[in-house]
Amino acid sequence: MITGESMPVSKSPGDGVIGGTVNRSGMVLVLATGVGADSMLSKVVRLIEDAQVAKAPIQAYADKVSAVFVPAIVVIATVTWVTWFSLASAGALPSEWTDVEGEFLFSFLFAITVLVIACPCALGLATPTAVMVGTGLGARMGILIKGGAPLETAHAVSHVVFDKTGTLTKGQPAVTAVRAFDAIRADEDRLLWLAGSAETGSEHPIGRAIVAAASSGRKLSTIQDFEAVAGRGLRCRLVEDGSSVLVGNVRFMSENGVDMTPAMLEAVREEEEKGQTVAVVHAGVAQGGKPLGLVCVSDPVRPEASAAVAALTGRGVGTSLVSGDNWRVARAIAASVGIRHVVAEALPAGKVDAVRDLQREGNKVAVVGDGINDAPAMAQSDLGIAVGAGTDVAMEAAGVVLVRSNLLDVVAALDISRVTFRRIRINLFFSLAYNCLGVPIAAGALYPLIHARLPPEVAALAMALSSVSVVMSSLSLRYYQPPIGSHRSEVFEPASAVLIEMNRL
């Protein structure tokens, strides 16, 4: 739960355990050494709170401009009236310009037109309309973006940190390889059937994974004389043919007189280097002899993980794997998906430190995780991304939730953010450009050349159209399709399933 191992960990007298974890078999007497504020859960909560307080607020560019816009326009309108009225009163203007309206009204209409044509609305709408459409676009694709702050942060992400168990992997042990040493004695199908039959009496997660794989489409044998040896393996006898079956690790085989050749031991080492748990299988009427082969169990990598990492790398975004699991498994998983930077055996505080190290290097860091142990790192990061199948604590600490639990949506979320933020910049540019062009014209900058003033009613129409154009610009985001993501997969999740998951969140 906290350290993130994909397989159960054996504990001996004197070892430390964490509250909330599950004892798989037997009885256990535990001495509580950390209670109340000293418990692991309290420490995790403090890490989250400290990280959230330390996070700097995001600056809103449009708000800064809008704060001075209206006073500036009032000043410009006043200066416009004073300038025209002063020139007219001093006789510096041709008399025919002011004969009809009079000097005061002639000057005053320029000031009114400036006030009317100036459009703080376009500036005020530039950001929220794009944010609204961008978050709605993400929601339709199963990517829940919690407001404008995460959306703005995501566009600048330069490094993504992945958790391992339940994020890069499926979080459920499964048989990932079967190797028969002698196909004449027992091929891979027979080997898996023998191991599955023997494991029907086991409560271990590895045993359940083997049984699930072996029982697919066929019936397993009934067993008798079952005996499990903790941390080693099991032995039993098949009722079907009376064969004695041993399933366990290399040490268990050696203790039972099973001879493993150097080539067999090398095969075990090769599979363990891939991060797999290896079960050696032996069957025969009597003990001794050589094993039949290997059944390998691991927490399988999500099928889209490699493509997601490659897509991030192609966009210039760095990737890291930070896990509480052991170094061997973490390195194997990282290598299989194309991640080079690995931090293993990291507790929640260690994950926070890893994120801080990346931030000190100048990176904008996003953390993708699913568990309680990932929540502090998410809170410390610039952007937390939670897998939808994860814990409520992780989803609370995250700014983005992937409802479909598909890692390709990490890339899609960053793409949506970048496109949305680019649209915000375009909206702000045209809003400012409109005002920079419209205000001088309204103030009469072209009057000496064309002898015509922009009527206030036309200025009002131009002001309204500028606001409408900003809204239409933002609405155009609705038609954007990220080039990668679960929405482009061949198998789509039903919309009803996504809505059910969104309601749960």
Q: Give the residue numbers annotated as catalytic, written as ranges.
A: 163
CA 193 to chain centre: 39
77-98: b or e for each residue (b if 16 or more CB lie within 10 Å)?
A: beebbeebbeebeeeebeeebb
**Rg, the chain, Cα only:** 34
In sequence order, the 6+-apart residues with CB closer than 8 A to the CB of 20 are 1, 2, 40, 41
d(Cα 161, Cα 377) in Å, to the nearest integer? 9
Terminal CA-CA length for the chain: 20
DSSP state letters, 407-447: THHHHHHHHHHHHHHHHHHHHHHHHHHHHHHHHHHHTTTTH
Residue keyed to tokens 């709408």: 125
SS3 344: coil
Residue whose C-alpha is closest to residue 131's, from 465, 417, 364, 502: 417
DSSP 374: G
Q: How far apart are CA 482 and CA 145, in angstroms?
A: 15
Q: Are 291 and 256 in contact (CB under 8 A)?
A: no
Phi, psi of 413 (to 5 degrees): -60, -45
DSSP 250: H
Task: Compute the half-sphere exposure of residue 164: CA atoms within 13 Å on the CB side of its CA.
Answer: 36
Q: In this structure, are residues 116 and 442 in contact, taking their beta carbons and an 8 Å threshold? A: yes
In angstroms, the CA 267 to CA 293 distance is 9
**Can you tell me the distance from the alpha carbon of 106 to that of 93, in angstroms, rounded to the nearest whole number?**
11
The amino acid sitting at 394 is A
Residue 260 tokens, joined: 């493993």
Q: Tell me how far apart the alpha carbons of residues 401 and 505 are, in angstroms, rounded to a whole number.
A: 9
H-helix or E-strand spanning residue 236 = strand 233-238
Type of residue found at 374: D
Residue 126 near residue 331 (C-beta atoms within 8 A): no
**DSSP SS3 for 11:** coil
Residues 292 and 277: their CA atoms lie apart, in Å, by 17
- Integer angstrom CA distances of residue 287 from 198, 222, 479: 16, 20, 68
